[in-house]
Amino acid sequence: MAPIKRSEYLKPLSREHHYSLLFGWKLRQGISRGVSIDRMVDYIRYFELHMLIPHFKEEETCLFIYSDSPYVQQALDEHRHILSIIATMKVEPGTTHYADLEALASLVDSHVRFEERQLFPYFEQNLTQAQLEAVAAAIKDGPAVGDDFEDNFWESPKN
């Protein structure tokens, strides 16, 4: 599939989505290398705190406020679902299995793809120029800081 041409106004959010796709890739690499689930749950905790929660808040308070479309409701529902799954993994880490990590990675991937392919184009087509400029101003200093988690579990088979 050809890369999506994103409006300049929403590009910071798309850059943040890149890190979410890497999140899933890293979990899959850890699974394929037989990395301990505890190490990957530590990464999930880190990513939730430093990327997912700030990113979701940014979308919800800076972009979603401009519409109550079914697309926005779907995105909100998916945000809650992703955070709910992570909360369960954090509270009950001993019950988490590789299949759960794969399911989380797939859910995050599909959520990003939904936002990039359907939700963001909806906003680009339906918001006024002034609204798009307001979104851009509000998100310009968002959480897209990268991923500096110290345990690069996705690079080695260490348990």
**C-alpha–C-alpha distance, residues 78 and 125, integer Å:** 22
Q: Tell me what pLDDT residue 144 has.
A: 60
How is residue 51 written in tokens? 């990327």
Name the average pLDDT for the chain.
91
Q: Tell me what pLDDT residue 143 has.
A: 65
User: Residue 6: pLDDT above 70?
Assistant: no
User: Residue 102: pLDDT above 80?
Assistant: yes
Long-range contacts of 126-132 (CB under 8 A, 24+ apart): 126/67, 126/69, 127/66, 127/67, 131/66, 132/7, 132/9, 132/10
Q: Tell me what pLDDT residue 55 has.
A: 94
pTM check: above 0.85: yes
| pLDDT tens digit sequence for 53-86 | 999 999 999 999 999 999 999 999 999 999 999 9
**C-alpha–C-alpha distance, residues 106 and 114, integer Å:** 12
Q: Tell me what pLDDT residue 8 has.
A: 85
Report how far apart, in Å, the C-alpha atoms of 12 and of each of 5, 55, 106 are.
Answer: 13, 10, 22
Contact between 12 and 142 under an 8 Å Cβ cutoff? The reply is yes
User: Residue 2: pLDDT above 60?
Assistant: no
